[in-house]
Chains A and B, each alone.
Chain A
């Protein structure tokens, strides 16, 4: 089992019960990264992040340094942190917000300084009521400590940070929908171009949108240097990353592992991570990066946890959510439940997604409940093709945002890998597994 000795970068304090307090934070190097950043020029800080080649940890995996460099010059710019963690089976930002809120605040301040933004917002999903309390508490402490607000640590740099609650909508994790929501509107994604946030973002001003985990890496990167971060992992996938492991494993949880040097098999079976499949059954399939990602089978367990490695194999690491399904899982039911989620969460702007998701959900439901028809499998693939032409990876899209083309992933995977199981449901009206 490859469990590397890479340092724990974002979960270093998680062993302490009081990891969320300012006292613990300060006694373990807290706000040292910010102090160091403030002693550098903003360009020097940005150069370290660029050197780290930190890939965004939200889902799309876009290099943070490059995203920063695209921010249009303007006297008024914004930083918005995406903490709307809603991709099913993703629960890593939840941990970071509740257990180390000061680390997040410090990361936000470092980014705000490097980017010289006018104001920063942390958008947290509304369901994180406890996380909102922890983060608000931390921010209050940070203001009193002098780390936020006017003339931070006497550096002459001032910034205000606002914690903003969402109110329950998956689509608000999409960055332009999040900005709409932050403006007090329905979370309707904006069309790109022209609405790339770096050019036209919050209130029409240039805006950088970064994920919570991306921000939480910044204090370490500034303290130890971008090169030290880039020395971990391999290729484009540098550093460590949080993986949220769920489903039929003995030890579900959030684990920080070195990218590429660790495989899916390591994560599922190593005693310090997943500890193997419950009941020592076989892995039937697994979702490698959130339910928007096409599924993998046991044959892909030895793939390294790297962005390109997984991308080239036809799926994505996405939000870092890995869900293991063992031999007792009904794949029709799994695909149906995931599709039901998308049908519920489609914002309704684009016809292929709005109508397609509901249609697909109803067809899957009737197969699961014994009312399936012979032609249903072709119907599912045909309707999926209308949302994402060619059903290829990476997906084509007929919609404003990528929620639409995410819908076919699990349907296409399930039919591809488990066609016989679907046929038994359709022909015999029963599940061969359950």
Chain B
């Protein structure tokens, strides 16, 4: 009995097929598993391992390297507050302290009801709107303390679910094109094209040499013919 849902497995297989080597799909597959469970359950890591042809230990060993991949449960809403330099200058430390007090957890912690996980994030690359806040990796703008309070109220009441998908959902758009061209065919095409180019270059060179020969010593006197 598969832990990952059939639709997730189907998408996983599609993703694996996009890459020359299956292991390349590891991170995308981890995102998919998180879309189902919110975090990487051991059973999910086992199945990902099988899908890309490595061991579950290798999946875990890789996943723990990355901040967005969670090997422990994460709240319904992952609230990330950037405190890096641009946001620091914009009051991020004060905003984070307020969020910690309001949610009753330190950065990195999850509220007892499992609703919110608070994160002291590194730069999220939205530095003209500070302090930068994301919820489930969706930008919600640079927020004042009052605006953050309003946002947390909204989330707690289940509002704004239209703009903020469930935690773990990375990409809602599915790829509809892809790998219509087998790599072996492409490599053969490239090789043929390179050969044709080499032929053209040789022909051009021959022609140049012939012209140089026809022009006699005048080219040589300009220093080209000595070699």
Of residues 54 through 107 on chain B, the ones whose CB sits less than 8 Å from some CB of chain A are: 54, 61-63, 65-69, 83-86, 88-89
Q: Is B158 an interface residue (CB 8 A)?
A: no
Contact across chains for A116 and B24 when beta carbons are under 8 A apart: no
Collect the chain A residues with CB atoms within 8 Å of residue B89's CB.
246-248, 323, 325, 329, 334
Q: How far apart are the CA atoms of A277 and B134 in the complex, in Å?
A: 27
Of residues 4 through 46 on chain A, the ones whose CB sits less than 8 Å from some CB of chain B are: 41-43
Q: How far apart are the CA atoms of A85 and B178 in the complex, in Å?
A: 25
Q: Is A139 an interface residue (CB 8 A)?
A: yes
Contact across chains for B194 and A73 when beta carbons are under 8 A apart: yes
Q: How far apart are the CA atoms of A341 and B121 in the complex, in Å?
A: 10
Of residues 96 through 154 on chain B, the ones whose CB sits less than 8 Å from some CB of chain A are: 122-130, 134, 136-139
A242 to chain B, nearest CB (A): 12
Contact across chains for B137 and A127 when beta carbons are under 8 A apart: yes
Q: Is B3 an interface residue (CB 8 A)?
A: no
In the complex, identify which listed stretch (A56-64, A158-166, A224-232, A307-315) lies at the interface while the others stay far away. Answer: A158-166
In the complex, identify which listed stretch (A143-151, A261-269, A388-396, A422-430) lies at the interface while the others stay far away. Answer: A143-151
Q: Is A432 an interface residue (CB 8 A)?
A: no
Contact across chains for B30 and A167 when beta carbons are under 8 A apart: yes
Contact size class for B? 35 or more
| Chain B residue, CB-CB nearest to A348 | B65
Q: Is A52 an interface residue (CB 8 A)?
A: no
Q: How far apart are the CA atoms of A90 and B193 in the complex, in Å?
A: 40
Please count how many residues in chain A sit with their CB below 8 Å of the partner chain's CB atoms. Answer: 81
B164-199 vs A, Cβ < 8 Å mask (1 yes, 0 no): 000001111111111111010111111101100100
Residues on B close to A: CB < 8 A?
A: 18-21, 23-28, 30-31, 52, 54, 61-63, 65-69, 83-86, 88-89, 122-130, 134, 136-139, 169-181, 183, 185-191, 193-194, 197
Contact across chains for A94 and B125 when beta carbons are under 8 A apart: yes
Contact across chains for B170 and A126 when beta carbons are under 8 A apart: yes
Q: How far apart are the CA atoms of A87 and B85 in the complex, in Å?
A: 11
In the complex, identify which listed stretch (A128-136, A373-381, A399-407) lies at the interface while the others stay far away. Answer: A128-136
Given contacts A119-B186, A143-B178, contact A170 B27 (CB under 8 A): no
Q: How far apart are the CA atoms of A296 and B206 in the complex, in Å?
A: 57
Q: Which 9 A-B pairs have the closest CB atoms?
A: A143-B177, A168-B67, A184-B26, A167-B66, A184-B23, A168-B68, A252-B128, A246-B86, A88-B123
A65-77 vs B, Cβ < 8 Å mask (1 yes, 0 no): 0000000010111
Q: Is A344 an interface residue (CB 8 A)?
A: yes
Collect the chain B residues with CB atoms within 8 Å of residue A167's CB.
27, 30-31, 63, 66-69
- Which of B18, B183, B191: most chain A CB closer than 10 A? B18
- Which of B126, B137, B171, B174: most chain A CB closer than 10 A? B171
Q: Is A366 an interface residue (CB 8 A)?
A: no
Q: How far apart are the CA atoms of A199 and B105 in the complex, in Å?
A: 49
Collect the chain A residues with CB atoms within 8 Å of residue B62's CB.
184-186
Given contacts A76-B183, A130-B139, contact A94 B126 (CB under 8 A): yes
Contact across chains for B88 and A334 when beta carbons are under 8 A apart: yes
| Chain A residue, CB-CB nearest to B69 | A167
Interface CB pairs A-B, < 8 A, 14: A89-B123, A89-B127, A129-B137, A139-B177, A140-B176, A142-B177, A148-B177, A149-B178, A159-B181, A164-B27, A167-B31, A185-B23, A252-B86, A334-B89
